[in-house]
Amino acid sequence: MRPLVIFYIFVIYILLQFCWWTWLLVDLNLEIYEQRMDAVALKHADPEAQQRESETFRRDLNKRWMMVAGEGAVFFTLLLIGINQTRKAFKKDFLLARQQKNFLLSITHEFKSPLSAIKLNLQTMRKRDLDRHVHQGMVDQSLRETDRIQTLIENALTATQLENRSLELGRVEFNLSELVREIVDSKTGQAYHRHPVSGNLDEGVYFEGDPDAIHSVVVNLVENAAKYAPDGTTIVIALREREKHIVLRVMDEGPGIPASEREHIFEKFYRVGNEETRRTRGTGLGLYIVKTVVELHNGKVFIKPNKPVGTIFEIIFKKR
């Protein structure tokens, strides 16, 4: 914040100096005009001659006023534009720095939590002779936490590749219905017991694109919904094939997204609130990956309210 304060002080100083020099220039022109009028009165005794020369001086003065006013207006306009652009740059850098700080805090927490759970499970299994059912439950939980870490790493790598434009997407025709069905089945009975995932899918929907990238899109949308939806509510994935489009929707019954936040949530690292006080987990990369990957497939993603409560993420792909 200190550079921004210094910038505003500098801006105020420039504006004050601009007003001061403007006043000095006006005062100097008036003084020159008065001196010339006095000189005309001493030079010419004839009132008509004085009048003619006074008119000439007055026209010259008016031209100077117009020149000063025009150049001053241009300078002032350029000054305001420069100030506004500099302010935006400062604000953007400050926001980016805060988002990067939040990302570092969140990624630290996101890695620490599953690693701690895995370590605790392994220590428990090593020290105690556990029932087979309990042992299997700990193994399953450790595998889920491992998948969570893997997803975090993949999201970070994908976001970096997308930003550097080094991500190479495959173009193959695949069964999108089967891909989405596999995701629905994989989320059933695992960590998503608090948020059951159901599929309402058209069968035999084929799409040309990168299966791994589209898989990442759907998973990120489901996990984003699970972060905010109340326990016991169902996350619904719908897939519809139209004449010219393929429509994919992920619907939840969470608190919804305020209209003021909708234009920002697809930005990298962007998350509502601050990492020190935010309760929901996440890194702010998931929705950035969703939007970027969808656009690379010539698609569009929209946010709509889910009635009576919740959010709908709608993706529309054009059919070839």
What pLDDT sits at residue 272? 57
Q: For the chain, what is the mean pLDDT?
A: 80
Strands 299-305 and 172-175: unpaired
Nearest to 268 by CA among 240, 293, 288: 288
Which stretch of 46-60, 117-131, 145-159, 268-282 has the lowest confidence by average pLDDT? Answer: 268-282
pLDDT (mean) for 89-108? 73
Separation in Å, CA 202 to CA 169, 176, 181, 278, 303: 25, 10, 10, 37, 22
Mean predicted confidence (pLDDT) in 140-154:
81
Q: Which residues of 205-223 are buried (b: 16+ CB within 10 A; e: fewer)?
A: bebebbbebbebbbbbbbb
SS3 labels along 206-254: EEEECHHHHHHHHHHHHHHHHHHCCCCCCEEEEEEECCCEEEEEEECCC
Give bridge partners of residue 201 from the DSSP assignment.
Answer: 239
Which tokens hold the place of 269? Answer: 């690292």
Sequence-distant (≥ 6) Cβ neighbours of residue 194 within 8 angstroms: 226, 231, 232
Name, of 94-108, 248-262, 289-303, the range with top average pLDDT: 289-303
pLDDT band with cut points at 50, 70 and 90 for residue 246? very high
3 state DSSP class of 67:
helix
pLDDT at 94: 76
Cα(188)–Cα(320) distance, integer angstroms: 33
The candidate with the shortest Cα–Cα distance to 234, out of 309, 182, 144, is 309
CA distance 80 to 128: 71
What is the per-residue pLDDT for 3? 67
pLDDT the model gives residue 300: 94
Tokens for 240?
A: 């519809």
Tokens of 246: 């393929």
In which residue are the tokens 């004839």 written?
46
For residue range 167-182, what is the model confidence (pLDDT) as tens digits? 778 889 999 999 999 9
pLDDT at 90 (0 to 100): 77
Distances (CA, A) of 192 to 157, 183, 239, 240, 303: 25, 12, 20, 24, 23
Distance CA 291, CA 297 (A): 10
The pLDDT of residue 277 is 38
pLDDT tens-digit readout, 202-223: 999 999 999 989 998 998 899 8
Give the percent of the chain with pLDDT over 90.
Answer: 18
Sequence-separated contacts (24+) of 77-83 with Cβ below 8 Å: 79/14, 79/15, 79/18, 83/11
236 backbone dihedrals φ, ψ, rounded to 5°: -110, 130
Q: 251 pLDDT exceeds 60? A: yes
Is the distance from CB of 315 to CB of 300 less than 8 angstroms?
A: yes
